Copies of this chain bind each other. A is one copy, B any other.
Amino acid sequence: MNVSTALRILKKEGYKYTEKREDLVTLFAKEKRYLSARDVLNHMQKNYPGMSVDTIYRNLTLFADLDILEETEWNGEKRYRLSCSTKSHHHHLICLDCGKTLHIETCPMEGIPVGDTEFEVTGHKFEVYGRCGECQAQ
């Protein structure tokens, strides 16, 4: 996923192009890590001092719905990062200090026999948590 792909998806789905939306996607494209709504607000308010929290949340939710952003949650806050790829299903090793990620290519759902239960399976979550090298060195 990159900025132009993201904006193309926006247009295709009938949403309007705004400079704030482009900057929002650009921020995620630069950072390539999980950011909280507050992180995003702090970054965005440098260029747009009066930017509303509502705009942040509304666009984060929209982008997650459009699969432009991936969403997760820790320490009571939702976090978002740019979708790594539209192609291959994968999981993450996540630094809980800075939100940096590494890919985990294997998916635990392959080989789990959940089809023979009365459950209708709708999703799954596999995440490994830790601290990256930089954050260990403070």
Cα distance, A133 to B136, chains bound together (Å): 46
CB distance from A138 to the nearest CB of B (A): 13
Return chain B residues, CB-CB under 8 Å to A66: none
Residues 20-40 (chain A) with a chain B CB within 8 angstroms: none
Contact with B along A114-134 (1 / 0, CB 8 A): 100111111111111111110
Cα distance, A63 to B102, chains bound together (Å): 33
Cα distance, A117 to B102, chains bound together (Å): 9
Closest to A110 in B: B108
A contact residues vs B (CB 8 Å cutoff): 73, 93, 95-96, 102, 104, 106, 108-109, 111-112, 114, 117-133, 136
